[in-house]
Amino acid sequence: KIKYIAIAGSSGGHILPAIKYLNTISKIKNPNQILFITNEVGKEYIKKIENNKINNIAISSKNKTIYILKIFLSITPLLILNRKITLVGFGGFITIPVLILSKLFNIFFLSSNKIYIHEQNFIYGLANKINYFISKNAFISFPKSNMKSREIFVGNFFLDKNKKREKIDQNFINILLIGGSAGSLDLNDKMLEELSRLDKINLEKVKLFIQIPNNYLEIYKKKYENLGANSCEFFAFKNDLNFQEYDLILSRSGSGSINEILYHTNAVHFIPHLISRDRHQKYNLNYFISHKMSVKDFKIPNKKTIKNDCYFNALI
């Protein structure tokens, strides 16, 4: 028996809000009646689901035709046996066939499935542009002056304020670079360019925490060593980042990154990832720029900065 389904894939920006939703709803509803549907990207995040009684299905979406066929074979029996499911699509292509199939059951088999979507970014992704027309409501992360009839502003609800976070040696000037496991190469080039301007004395004061895909680790590790940046910690993913501990952060402008970082600190320079077809990170950042929040040039400090007690993002 399944009563709740969350669907998310393609990127952490879609998957992390889904997991926060799953972790929250499993505390008030029977976890055996909850299902998470994801793809090969989401498999890497399943371990973040706190309750192991939550059901999950991970289907590769590299071949779209095979994915749709497998979804049909996996989900149809569930929809036949369960006529009243609450579904939330969190973005990515993989949500479309699941939500459309649920809608077809409502039309042709008199089911009462409730279909919702959650959009993390300022503009709708392609999948959610399609899903919007079959959804009951769309939960959005950015407030708008003219909201559509189905939209409900919920903010970026997956911030986890209570988790344990790292402690860093404050004798250094601590610099963090995060860009997502697959999207940080040009950020690293930007960092290397700025480091090359520092003299050796100031470089010795700096400790770097660098996110880099594993397959590029050795190449970029060598580049940092050649510049004389010997205090470096490299990682592909870190679950206990403490943004308040850093004197400067270089980051992408995904909705999750912007909201969580600005909740804790304003010492950040954002660079949008522009490869996606809709350039949503540019629009996310433009929203904050238009509201005069966190527009900083990227410059590595040569002495310890004086921190504010806390900077709260006005959206939160």
Q: What is the pLDDT of residue 158?
A: 60
CA distances from 248 to 44, 164, 274 (A): 28, 21, 22
The conformation of residue 11, written as its DSSP 8-state character, comes to S
Q: What is the pLDDT of residue 192?
A: 94
Note the pLDDT tens digit of each residue in 191-200. Answer: 999 999 988 8
Residue closest to 86 by CA, chosen among 149, 130, 21: 21
* Residue 266, phi then psi, degrees to nearest 5: -110, 5
Q: What band does 309 get if pLDDT is binned at 50, 70 and 90?
A: very low
Q: What is the pLDDT of residue 310?
A: 47
d(CA 316, CA 258): 11
CB 179 within 8 A of CB 211: yes
Q: pTM of the prediction?
A: 0.84
- Go through the chain and tell me how many residues it has: 316
Residue 58 bridge partners (DSSP)? 38
Dihedral, CA of residue 273, residue 279, residue 285 and residue 289, to nearest 10: 130
232-235 and 248-251 strand pairing: unpaired
Q: What is the pLDDT of residue 183?
A: 62
CB 46 within 8 A of CB 54: no
Q: What is the pLDDT of residue 6?
A: 98
Dihedral, CA of residue 261, residue 264, residue 266 and residue 272, to nearest 10: 10
Note the pLDDT tens digit of each residue in 42-78. Answer: 998 899 899 999 999 999 999 999 999 999 999 999 9
Note the pLDDT tens digit of each residue in 105-152. Answer: 999 999 999 999 999 999 999 999 999 999 999 999 988 889 999 999
Note the pLDDT tens digit of each residue in 243-300. Answer: 989 999 999 888 888 888 888 888 888 888 877 767 888 988 888 778 766 566 777 8
